[in-house]
Amino acid sequence: MATTTSSQAIVVNSAGDHVLSLNTAQLEILKISDGSKIGDLTLNGQQGQIKLNKQETHAYVGTFDKKFIIVDISNYASPTNIGEITLLGVQVQDIVVSKLSANRVYVGSHYFSILDISDPTTITKVDVAVDCRFLAVNSAETRAYCSSDTKLFTLDISDKSNPFKMHEQVQPGAGAVVISYDDQILYTGVGASGIRIYTLSGAYSD
């Protein structure tokens, strides 16, 4: 079993033979079969979130000081920081990788941001000023759903250059947001109050 000294977040590759682990200052790549460290990279800021692109050549890292970092992991022995951007908000709490475009990522950092990562050295963004901590995006990528400590927001993201808030609903607490495969049901964690289930219809599910 692979082990590391500490871990803020982990992701396992699709082959199931390597795990990428974030600790307070580093990204570590470990071989699962024997726990050996293959490679590591020191990053700026305490790490909080990690996701992989579809090809598993890049890792997307979010930090507690609002940074979004792209790491080239095509060579596990030598991961490389190839681009980063400082976001609005407080800290990166959630990252959703687009399934429709290799050049787009959605981020919740107590703001909502759509990032254009077509050029990792010059990442650009479009923001919506809502307290977005955890998020889900529908399969058509026309709607985003963001939770905060007190509200659930529905965003229209059909125009990636001009996303906007459509609706907000009071809810007691922030937690993970998960949308069903058919885009008809939304599940949200609401802290000590458990889980809320919303049925999506009309404009809110388009």
Q: 1-86 — its CATH code?
A: 2.40.10.480
What pTM does this model have?
0.90
Per domain, the residue ranges of the chain are 1-86
pLDDT per residue as tens digits for the range 44-59: 767 678 999 999 999 9
Residue 203: the pLDDT is 54
The C-alpha atoms of residue 40 and residue 166 are separated, in whole angstroms, by: 42
Residue 2: the pLDDT is 47
Residue 118: the pLDDT is 96
At CB < 8 A and 24+ separation, what contacts does 144-149 make? 144/106, 144/112, 145/177, 145/179, 145/186, 145/188, 146/108, 146/112, 146/177, 147/171, 147/174, 147/175, 147/177, 147/188, 147/189, 147/190, 148/110, 148/174, 149/173, 149/174
Residue 201: the pLDDT is 78
pLDDT < 70 positions in the chain:
1-7, 45, 47, 202-206
